[in-house]
Amino acid sequence: MMDSLTLDVMIDLQQPLNRKDYKFFYPITTRWRDNDVYGHVNNVTYYSYFDTAVNLFLIEEAGLSIRNAPVVGYVVHSNCNYLSSLAYPDKIDIGLRVNKIGNKSVTYGVGIFKEGIDKVCAYGEFVHVFVNREDDKSVPIPETIRKALERLLITK
């Protein structure tokens, strides 16, 4: 990891860096297998945290049936910026927001926080395109899902 002075220079001040920048949170406990040989959570694991939080939101708050819904979200883009490390057995909170809602896609903002800490450890974006399960063609976001996503929409 880079030192905080270097990171402060690199961080775009418009990026979501604190809990107040997110509208919804899911608690997760890191797992033993999340650590790599360097003793911290491996970078690819952060993407599984993103995926878990987004899909929990869609299931619990938007009523998505991941096994039976005719329309599902496919990830078409994701990115992550790492500011400070995590390690097992850290307890973390995954913050969610919606940066943009289109007709057929949504861009989520996701932040990872150590429990009780206001500054983000890592943040990024996660883009879903909604598709018809039968023919794999993109379709408009179902209305029930759109309404749930609008509750997380950040207005600038």
Q: What is the pLDDT of residue 155?
A: 83
Asked if the bond preceding 89 is cis, omega within 30° of 0, the reply is yes
Lowest mean pLDDT among 4-13, 97-106, 113-122: 4-13
Can you read off the two tokens belonging to residue 71?
């329309």
Angstrom distances, CA of residue 80 to CA of 29, 104, 121, 139: 19, 23, 10, 27
Asked if pLDDT for residue 14 goes beyond 90, the answer is no
State the average pLDDT over residues 55-76. Answer: 95
Q: What is the pLDDT of residue 4?
A: 42
State the average pLDDT over residues 131-147. Answer: 97
Complete DSSP assignment for 69-137: -SEEEEEEEEEEEE-S---TT-EEEEEEEEEEE-SSEEEEEEEEEETT--B-SEEEEEEEEEEETTT--
Asked if pLDDT for residue 127 goes beyond 80, the answer is yes
Can you read off the two tokens belonging to residue 1?
């990891």
pLDDT in tens, 30-64: 999 999 999 999 999 999 999 999 999 999 999 99
**Domain ranges, ordered by start, for the chain:** 4-150
Do residues 35 and 87 make contact, with C-beta atoms less than 8 angstroms apart?
Answer: yes
Give dist(CA 50, CA 110) in Å, integer: 6
21: left (phi over 0), alpha (psi -120 to 50) or beta: alpha
State the average pLDDT over residues 75-90. Answer: 95
CA-CA-CA-CA torsion for 88, 94, 99, 105, nearest 10 degrees? 90
At the top level of CATH, which class does the domain 4-150 belong to? alpha beta
State the pTM of this model.
Answer: 0.87
Q: What is the pLDDT of residue 3?
A: 44
State the average pLDDT over residues 85-110. Answer: 97
